Amino acid sequence: MEEKALLELQNLTKKFGNLIAVDNVNFELQPGEIHAILGENGAGKSTLMNLIYGLYQPSSGSINIYGKKTILRSPSDAIAHGIGMVHQHFMLIENLTVAENIALSVAKFDPSNQRNASDADLDSLPNSFESSINLSKFRYDKSEATQLTESLSQRFNLPVEPNTLIRNLSVGLKQRVEILKALAVNARILILDEPTAVLSPHEVEDFFDVLRTLQADNRSIIFISHKMKEVLAISDRITVLRHGKNVYQGKTGELSARGLAKEMLGEELSEVEREEHKASRDQVLNISELTVMGSRDKNAVKNLSLETHRGEIVGIAGVDGNGQRELAEAILGLRHISSGTIEILGKRPTKTKDIRQCGVGYIPEDRRTKGVIQTFSIAENLMLNYTHLQTLTQTGVIKQVSKYDFSQHLIDSYDIRPTIPDVPVSTLSGGNQQKVVLAREISPQPELLIAVNPTRGLDINAMFFVHKKLLAQRDKNKSVLLISTELDEVLRISDRIYVMSSGKLIEATEHRDNIGALGLLMTGESETDV
């Protein structure tokens, strides 16, 4: 007899006006199962997860937990039913510490509500973590919160400093905090949205060990990822969404990566192959003995030297939080330099405006807070570039007709969805917000493009599209500095490869064909260890 599904979605539909984001989806999750969900950007994955987590309510259809129809009016209801979610866009309070954020997640959790929320099947759900904090009468005990954070970090091998402010953390460390928040309330169903985006190959394996431990404890995991290899390595079953509908569901291994990609896209995937390309001797970026202070009064970049030339992509791989962000911000004039020099085309501009006018494009690591203005429309965000503003203004006034023609052209060229210039960027999926940033920064054809995790959150088709754009820049004799936590990405399109670890740069082109060696360098092992 087949085991009763822990979670079942029946004909679930969600409409936003005339837009059908989730279209008659049927889905089930078994106890102790790791179920992967694949789909293009805008396919409905995030909306579907938000329905399960109570952030949205369905337009029609039902959500069943242990066979009973359940109405999830809020995340608190979802947590009461043993559902935890790690969002792709973090739900953290920037001005609080790690421990305080985790304490708040536990404070919202009431085990008595959990037991009253459903039938006797839910009585088997665990209470909150053994070291749970006493937050009755809104009291906060710093030592208990710190102890809980340290206990969770050690137990699940997710190290993070408990008393660090969230705003001072890298993207990768923020993601760790989100995972710890979900684990702090012992979620029986754990929804993970792109959980390995900022991990090295070795850390991915360690993280998979964590998932297998949770699975052995009969917990169920919904694993959302764009990485085919990881989905095939960790999942038991796979569901593919396309245009809001589930077009495929089957056991892992029934379809190859290419077959899954075809289900996602509705057509064969056109992959990108890097061709050998001889770089010019003309220097574009010259960094000499650069030292940059980080957010915690420590040097994030340490005595770093680097050159890039016309007609090449220089790739820097590394685990997030090793100085990559500070390096990019220093080049852009967004962060003070402690010592050393940065030259761009033989000049040493220090102000961001002057650096931009030298012909520098920038794709930041965090699109939501640094790449776009959420309240602006697509068209307005596409204009936020010095070159575009010069073209589209006359005597300080924006030419409206030109603005819409220009934005519509970029929307079509970069496949931004929806295709309406007036739509607020806040309503777009994360992947489509990233396409807005890419369109704005690449279209002016900058002499130097600094791209930090340019494909984070993008589906496989959009990822290859971005890679083609970066390779096109190289072929037009431009210079590209690619900084990415995606080792496969760096290997796929870079002409020269470095690894950044603890603020230092290690030449690694000779290890292009040795993933193990690169992984060791990324985790701080010395070159002699390789």
Confidence of residue 110 (pLDDT cuts 50, 70, 90): low
Tens-digit pLDDT profile for residues 278-299: 767 899 999 999 999 987 678 9
Query: Per-residue pLDDT averaged across 191-195, rounded?
Result: 86
Query: Per-residue pLDDT averaged across 445-470, rounded?
Result: 89
Confidence of residue 529 (pLDDT cuts 50, 70, 90): very low
Highest mean pLDDT among 60-64, 482-486, 514-518: 60-64
CA angle 13, 55, 137 (to 5 degrees): 155
% residues pLDDT > 90 (the chain): 54
Q: In whole angstroms, how far apart are CA 374 and each of 150, 201, 367, 436?
A: 35, 33, 10, 12
User: Phi/psi at 65 (nearest 5 deg)?
Assistant: -120, 125
Q: Which CATH class is domain 270-359+445-530?
A: alpha beta
Least confident of 78-82, 129-133, 376-380: 129-133
Q: In whole angstroms, how far apart are CA 223 and each of 48, 374, 400, 469?
A: 13, 27, 43, 29
pLDDT of residue 154: 87
User: Phi/psi at 23 (nearest 5 deg)?
Assistant: -120, 95
Higher pLDDT, 296 or 223: 223
CB 500 within 8 A of CB 491: no
Say whether pLDDT at 126 is over 70.
no
Q: In whole angstroms, how far apart are CA 101 and each of 9, 138, 337, 503?
A: 31, 14, 32, 28
Neighbours of 170 (CB within 10 A): 23
Say whether pLDDT at 140 is over 80.
no
Nearest C-alpha neighbor of 113 from the set 62, 145, 55, 74: 74
The answer to whether 7-265 and 270-359+445-530 have equal CATH topology is yes
Instruction: Kindly tell me the sign of the dihedral angle through the C-alpha atoms of 166, 172, 177, 178.
Output: positive
DSSP string, 127-178: -S-TT----GGG---HHHHHHHHHHHHHHTT----TTSBGGGS-HHHHHHHH
Confidence of residue 200 (pLDDT cuts 50, 70, 90): low
Mean pLDDT of all residues in the chain? 86
% residues pLDDT > 70 (the chain): 88
Domain definitions of the chain by residue range:
7-265, 270-359+445-530, 379-443
Strands 360-363 and 393-394: unpaired
Q: In whole angstroms, how far apart are CA 356 and each of 349, 440, 473?
A: 9, 13, 17
Least confident of 69-78, 164-173, 374-383: 164-173
Nearest C-alpha neighbor of 213 from the set 156, 173, 175: 156
Say whether pLDDT at 346 is over 60.
yes
Least confident of 59-63, 111-115, 172-176: 111-115
Say whether pLDDT at 60 is over 50.
yes
Nearest C-alpha neighbor of 197 from the set 529, 488, 444: 488
Query: Per-residue pLDDT averaged across 315-334, rounded?
Result: 92
Is CATH 3.40.1280.10 what the domain over 7-265 is classified as, yes or no? no
Q: In whole angstroms, how far apart are CA 453 and each of 222, 320, 437, 463?
A: 24, 10, 12, 11
Say whether pLDDT at 239 is over 60.
yes
The token pair that represents 148 in the structure block: 């809980």
Least confident of 10-24, 193-207, 401-415, 417-431: 193-207
Say whether pLDDT at 198 is over 70.
no
